[in-house]
Amino acid sequence: MLKNNLQIAAIQFDIKWESKLENLKVIEEKINQITEVDIILLPEMFTTGFTMQAKKFSEDMDGKTVNRMKLWAKKLNSAIGGSIIISEGSSVFNRFVFVTPDESIFFYDKRHTFTLAGENKYYTKGNNLGIFEYKGWKICLRICYDLRFPIWSRNKYNYDLLIYVANWPKKRIQAWDSLLKARAIENMCYCLGVNRVGKDQNNKSYPGHTTYYNYLGDKVAQSKKNKSDVINFTFDKQEIILCRKKLKFLNDIDNFTIQ
């Protein structure tokens, strides 16, 4: 079903360290307060925080978290998306899972594992594109550190909506703000960044800054800083179509191949 207006809500919250049950409970309480949206977004590793205990906390795609997402999506008639730890064979991925009300599942495996924290030692680097269509919108999924690598998100595929979920620390939050805006401008798309708040077991602080930008880099919605929050906004497909017809910058992008 094609929708010109896409309503999105992002849940910014303090992820309890390596506590799946507690985090699922918090999310469920917040989700029950949301009505009439098309998509609900959650941060990176929303059930555990940014843990390197990959094998210990991994699930498969028929595990408890994905099944809970299916229940939420069906109950609210809204797609649910966020990143969790998923195992496939001997590999463990930081996977952005997107579940629709009819139980269709789209996903993206984080390509740029965060070497500064040793993520590359415990998680397998993804290689799938993470682009799909939902309700007539072409959506591109990305995770945290991917934000620093613009070529990987370059809009060769005419997507409308670019979504980053993250555990992005306070110390480098200015980069988060600047890079999200840049990705929106250079790709002429709506760009959403969903971050967490609170402090994790590694003493890293997270200030939130969940933010939505339009196709010209204008900030259209932002969360409260350092607080749990639900951020809502309605995106207009016709606006982006008209802007791209007038400003045909995407027609001039360079051809390239990613190795």
Q: Which domain holds residue 204?
A: 5-252
The pLDDT score that the predictor gives to residue 228 is 95
**Any domain includes 100:** yes
Cα 201 from Cα 259, distance rounded (Å): 35
pLDDT digits (tens, 9 = 90+) for 70-103: 999 999 999 999 999 999 999 999 999 999 999 9
User: What does the pLDDT look like over 27-67, one tens digit per residue?
Assistant: 999 999 998 999 999 999 999 999 999 999 999 999 999 99
Question: How does residue 2 score in pLDDT terms, banded at 50, 70 and 90?
Answer: confident
Residue 257 inside a domain? The answer is no
**Is the residue at 121 inside a domain?**
yes
* Structure token digits, residue 102: 């009819």
SS3 track for 180-224: HHHHHHHHCCEEEEECCEEECCCCCEEECCCEEECCCCCEEEECC
CATH code of the domain covering residue 224: 3.60.110.10
Residue 200 located in a structural domain:
yes
Residue 155 lies in a domain: yes
How many Cα atoms occupy the beta-carbon half-sphere of 84 within 13 Å?
30
Tokens of 180: 């999200």
Q: Does the structure show a pLDDT above 80 at 1?
A: no
In this predicted model, what pLDDT tens digit does every residue of 166-219 receive, in sequence order? 999 999 999 999 999 999 999 999 999 999 999 999 999 999 999 999 999 999
Asked whether residue 205 is domain-assigned, the answer is yes
How many Å apart are CA 18 and CA 45, to the nearest integer?
Answer: 10
**Could you report the per-residue pLDDT of 223-253, keeping only the tens digit for each?**
988 999 999 999 999 999 999 999 999 999 9
The reply to whether 258 falls in a domain is no
pLDDT at 225: 87
Helix H or strand E encompassing 87: strand 79-88
Active site residues per annotation: 44, 110, 144
The answer to whether residue 15 is domain-embedded is: yes
Q: What is the gyration radius of the CA atoms in the chain, in angstroms?
A: 17
**pLDDT computed for residue 255 by the predictor:** 87
Mean pLDDT of the 151-165 span: 96
Residue 257: per-residue pLDDT: 86
Average confidence (pLDDT) over 135-152: 98
Confidence of residue 16 (pLDDT cuts 50, 70, 90): very high
State the burial class of residue 131 (Cβ atoms within 10 Å of its Cβ: 0-12, 13-18, 19+). Answer: middle
Amino acid (one-letter) located at 52: M
Q: What is the mean pLDDT of residues 114-140?
A: 97
Tally of domains within the chain: 1
- Asked if residue 11 has pLDDT above 90, the reply is yes
pLDDT surpasses 80 at 148: yes
Model pTM?
0.97
